[in-house]
A and B are shown apart, each in its own frame.
Chain A
Amino acid sequence: MLLKSVKKSLLVLTLGLTASAASWAQEVKLLNVSYDPTRELYAEFNKAFVAHWQKTANQKVTVSQSHGGSGKQARSVIDGLAADVVTLALAYDIDALYDEAKLIPENWQSRLPNNSSPYTSTIVFVVRKGNPKNIKDWDDLVKPGIQVITPNPKTSGGARWNYLAAWAYAKKAYGSDEKAREFVAKLYKNVPVLDSGARGSTTTFAQRQLGDVFLSWENEAFLIEKEFGVGKFEVIVPSLSILAEPPVTVVDKNVEKNGTRKVAEAYLNFLYSKEGQEIAGKNFYRPRDPEVAAKFSNIFPEVKLVTIDEEFGGWRKAQTEHFSDGGIFDQIYQPQ
């Protein structure tokens, strides 16, 4: 009897699958697995893409979103979450899709323009109204008595950008890796709390009133103002910062299984279109397209930016040197 019912349910399942395969031509589903601060960006972008795909391909598409910490999201995809595209905080987390599960080819980052990063951001300082501690640049962060709020780079992707921005500044200003290391160590001496994620740090700084300066993604810095009240905080742009490139890619193994390669690729390409770039700009990400970027030039101040490839030889190298177990970040905290 058991066998019979199993057979029966298999039959139903097969029928169901055939039926859904037949309706596939009319409707297609995409899953975009992304990180935390892109919630608002993709909510708006997905709507625009649905309309765009209806117009150009005459097909109905539904885009689902998943958000969470960048590393955790990558692990979900490695463990089998059927993401068609991933849009994460840093290339290291997408590299892991190749390293751990071969879901994508090794050269994934060269498949789309601009290192596969359709929009960029940078690291800025957020200070309290009137800038009471007179914080202007990185040097002010290592002064005694200044409290700096930044999450733990071991658990937060965004925090790794913060750390590397500080390093890049110190290396330019003081000339050597040795000096940069001293500078970063001194900076972390001024960090009273290492929250596990960027949103946790935002709460610590904005709501719990802890710290004098908060190192933040530029797009998050704008959102803080929106959320906690305009005029309570000021954004300070340092003399030098890092070009944060949150990359995107199609997950090859999954789109082949789902039969969604065409629409997934179109989805990512649409990020590079004028319309996609405008949506990125409106959500406080710096557009790559020079024309669109010019439109937003009053929002995004000019700042000297270094890239992770020039300064640190890419994410893999930076990760191993600085953030792996026993790396430089761990050494900073080692008891003497």
Chain B
Amino acid sequence: MRSIRKPSVIPGFGLSLGFAAFYASLIVFIPLAALFAKSFTLTWDEFWKTVLHPQAIASYKLSLGASFIGACINLVFGFIVAWVLVRYQFFGKKVVDALVDLPFALPTAVAGIALTTLYAPQGWIGQFLSPLGIKVAYAPLGVVVALTFIGLPFVVRTVQPVLEELEKEIEEAAASLGAGRWATFRRILFPALLPALLTGFALAFARAVGEYGSVVFISGNMPYKTEITPLLIVTKLEQYNYAGAAALAVVLLTFSFVLLLLINILQHWSSKRAGG
């Protein structure tokens, strides 16, 4: 921030800041402001009644809970995938690398239908799980599966470039100074990767909270049980209750914003500690 007055490689700070502010307003702030304004057409009483309805609360628990679990799963396995893609050479690596991005490209409804086909009680995978008493499709677990699927690329794509930057020599140096494998990972690699991991986690989580298309096919949409908040929003829209829909959206956004803020603070703190 202090470098504002220093001559920069790209000139025209005033112009570019102006443009950035204008662009951000146009793309992000104005739609969000419209959303908040819409929800303010409700009285306070109506607003609280809408957002604190037991059915809405049940849906926040599912939406936020499943998004959180999905993001945690992606954190672990996304890291492993990124590790393998950066550190090992193997046949077909380019293909695997490209596959990671597919959840971005696939229309989410297609993803939802494909996952349901696999995990339904008669499906390819579901038929082996249902005798064990594991219900994936039409259960909260299915929501987690769908949200894990759509979130995977975020963690992989944020961790990968940082991992590429980390030279193998650092690990060798640590080893030669007497650090064991675990110590090297915990004290050398992990602190360096933590900011990227947190970013990936935050992106995967935020994406999952708002996800509608893939989840509605696999969740079964049973009120109080497998209803995600975005579905409740659509339900309100079906009744032309725009303000009620906006109220629920405001709640989701607030939750996400607070979490993203916390993660940003954590990230700031960790990169400072790592001497970044």
Contacts and interface: CB of A to CB of B under 8 A. Distances in A.
Nearest to B109: A200
Contacts of A196: 216, 221, 231, 234
A335 B224 contact: yes
Contact of B224 (A200, A207, A333): A333
Nearest to B241: A325
B238 A194 contact: no
Contact of A208 (B116, B216, B235, B239): B116
Given A208-B122, A209-B122, A210-B120, A330 B239 contact: no
Contacts of B27: none
B238 A330 contact: no
B129 to A, nearest CB: 14
B85 to A, nearest CB: 34
Contact of B231 (A72, A155, A200, A325): A155
Given A154-B235, A196-B231, A325-B53, 18 more contacts: A71-B237, A71-B238, A75-B240, A78-B240, A99-B240, A192-B138, A193-B221, A195-B216, A196-B234, A200-B217, A208-B120, A208-B122, A209-B122, A210-B121, A324-B239, A325-B236, A325-B239, A330-B55
A207 B244 CA distance: 35
B264 interface: no
B54 interface: yes
Interface of B: 53-55, 113, 116-117, 120-123, 138, 216-217, 220-224, 231, 234-241, 244
Contact of A155 (B53, B121, B138, B238): B238
Interface residues of A, number: 29
Contact of A193 (B222, B234, B238): B222
Contacts of B217: 195, 200
Contacts of A193: 138, 220-222
A154 B238 contact: yes
Contacts of B54: 334-335
Nearest to A195: B221
Given A155-B231, A203-B113, A330-B55, A75 B237 contact: yes
A194 B223 CA distance: 9
Contacts of A210: 120-122
Interface string A170-200: 0000000000000000000000111110001
A333 B238 contact: no
Contacts of B235: 152, 154-155
A100 B240 contact: yes
Nearest to A207: B117
A96 interface: yes
B223 A333 contact: yes
Interface in A155-170: 155
A315 interface: no
Contacts of B224: 333-335
A330 B244 contact: no
Contacts of B223: 194, 330, 333
21 contacts: A71-B238, A72-B237, A154-B238, A155-B221, A155-B231, A155-B234, A155-B238, A193-B138, A193-B221, A195-B221, A196-B216, A203-B113, A208-B116, A208-B117, A210-B121, A210-B122, A319-B239, A325-B241, A330-B223, A334-B224, A335-B54
B121 A325 contact: no
